[in-house]
Structure 1
Amino acid sequence: MHSESVRGKLALITGCTGGIGRATAVALAKHGVNIAIHYNANSGNAAALADELSEQGVKASYFQADMGNYDEVRRMHAEVVESMGHLDVLFNNAGTTTKVIGRAGAIEDVDMDVFERTWRVNSGSSFLLTQLCVPHMVKQQFGRIVFNSSVAAGTGGVIGPHYASSKSALHGMMHWIAQRYAKDGVTCNAVAPALIVGTEMMSNPNPENLKMIPVGRFGQPEEIASIVEMLVGNAYMTNKIIVADGGWTAGAF
């Protein structure tokens, strides 16, 4: 990445205290990107990360919101704009499994409340934040939007149909946004990781799932952060899903 192209820009990273969010914040800060840290419950980790990023010489502040509550998402966005300015980069990273039924689970074990909550956090709030950020990005003719999807969007994954469908929804969203706003200097892409350790979602990984990963190990948060870093720094790359899954799938889905 050419640091000068993004130095001084402001990025909002949702789910920023988790493994991938945190690693991405550290990676972008090295290029001089100011970071708005979103967190839900872990204010201690958010404050510590803000201090760490500030020591790198960038501006960093933290903001709370339950991503399953659209009013809280709107409030959080307004607070970021008021205290740090309009957003140039949006990494829609926050996600939830809500409930894990696994590959052999029964579909009736996912009730509609679980389904709706999963979609609100994983899809709805990502759409809402993008909707709130795009007008300014268009006005300034610069914007970078990245969705954190999942290999589950293309394979069904190991969590359940509620999770897989909420992630594949991001792909349709991304394709439309990318094509609509490409002429306005706004790129939109998705990264689709497989099983990444060092994250809340993979705090207790099932060793059986390793059988699906040809490289024979789980992924690291920094390996996903490096992809987001590339997408933020590349003005010619848009409308793409970058799959990082240790070889689980062939090509793109």
Structure 2
Amino acid sequence: MASSGSLRGKLALITGCSGGIGSATARVLGKQGCAIAVHYNSATTKAKALVSELKALGVKAEAFQADLSDYSNVHRLHEQVVEKMGHPNVLFNNSAIANNAIGITGDIEKISVEEFENTWRVNTGSSFLLTQLCIPNMVQNKFGRIIFCSSVAAKTGGVVGPHYASSKSALHGLLHWIALRYAKDGITCNAVAPALIIGTTMFDFPNDELKNKIPVGRFGLPEEIASVVELLATNAYMTNKIVTADGGWVSGGI
């Protein structure tokens, strides 16, 4: 009988791992027994510090640099991870950019089509491609955990702009198809949809106006999102789901 099982001995590839949510997730999955492939783009110092921290805890970890706005770099990232650490069993597509944040009162003409496409390339296209590259080995081994970092913006429109919100909502259709197609192969596919998480580059300037939107009366912490990712990575029966973690901002799930 299939069960959730342990992640001990598995390899987790986490994109955007040098940021708040990525690094918190690396620590959590490392404690579960996962080796961690730490992806980063420009935050070299943070990535190396995280790798050193994980290794000090007895976790096998290596850092891999890649600018995910270029699809050739996505291929290179996957190849380097496989060559150095093996095939990922857990993929957390966490990397994302906001680009020009025009807010909820901005004008749509402030977002150029080039900026729109760049946002989609990083947030959606690279996640699709990396998932596509990882799935064949997961199918072969009858085990895989694919997790996307979405956003409440996918449901509400959010506070960044249409380029960001649409790039996140597109992940939902992607995960629904993947979850249904590969469930029989031991692969689950889910997403966490956070909102207003401090300690992240996506939310550098918290203010009381935004805090007033949150029923629990505070902003979220990266560790609270990491705990949701841990659930999605360890539970073999939970698939095709989007878990909202937003302090009660929106009702129901996404």
- When normalised by structure 1's length, the TM-score is 0.98
Retained in 1: the 8 A contact 2:148–2:191? yes
What's the counterpart of residue 10 of structure 2?
Answer: 9
Q: CA deviation at 1:206?
A: 3.2
Q: CA deviation at 1:187?
A: 0.2
Retained in 1: the 8 A contact 2:5–2:236? no
CA distance in 1, matches of 2:70, 2:221: 29
Retained in 2: the 8 A contact 1:37–1:46? yes
What's the counterpart of residue 217 of structure 1?
Answer: 218
What's the counterpart of residue 178 of structure 2?
Answer: 177
CA distance in 2, matches of 1:47, 1:201: 21
CA distance in 2, matches of 1:247, 1:99: 27
The CA deviation string for residues 105-138 of structure 1, in whole angstroms up to 9 with x for no partner, is 0000000111011000100000000000000000
Q: CA deviation at 1:75?
A: 0.4
What's the counterpart of residue 131 of structure 1?
Answer: 132
**Structure 1 residue ranges without an equivalent (≥5):** none
CA distance in 2, matches of 1:207, 1:161: 23
Task: Tell me the secondary structure at the aligned position of residue 188 of structure 2.
Answer: strand
Task: Tell me the secondary structure at the aligned position of residue 5 of structure 1.
Answer: coil
Corresponding pairs, count:
252
Q: CA deviation at 1:201?
A: 1.0
CA distance in 2, matches of 1:49, 1:106: 39
Within 5 Å, give how 1:13-92 maps onto structure 2.
13-92=14-93
1:109 aligns to 2:115 (yes or no): no
CA distance in 1, matches of 2:140, 2:237: 19
CA distance in 2, matches of 1:207, 1:125: 34
Q: CA deviation at 1:3?
A: 9.7
One-letter identity of the residue aligned with 1:15: G
Q: CA deviation at 1:5?
A: 1.3
What's the counterpart of residue 123 of structure 2?
Answer: 122
What is the identity percentage for the equivalent residue pairs of Structure 1 and Structure 2?
Answer: 65
Retained in 1: the 8 A contact 2:5–2:234? no
CA RMSD of aligned residues (A): 1.1
Retained in 1: the 8 A contact 2:6–2:32? no
Question: Relative to 1, partners in 2 of residues 1:229 and 1:163: Cα closer, same or farther, differing over 3 Å?
Answer: same
Q: CA deviation at 1:211?
A: 2.0
Retained in 2: the 8 A contact 1:8–1:32? yes
Question: Relative to 1, partners in 2 of residues 1:67 and 1:14: Cα closer, same or farther, differing over 3 Å?
Answer: same
CA distance in 1, matches of 2:139, 2:104: 41
Show structure 1 runs of 4+ deviating over 4 A. Answer: none
What's the counterpart of residue 228 of structure 2?
Answer: 227
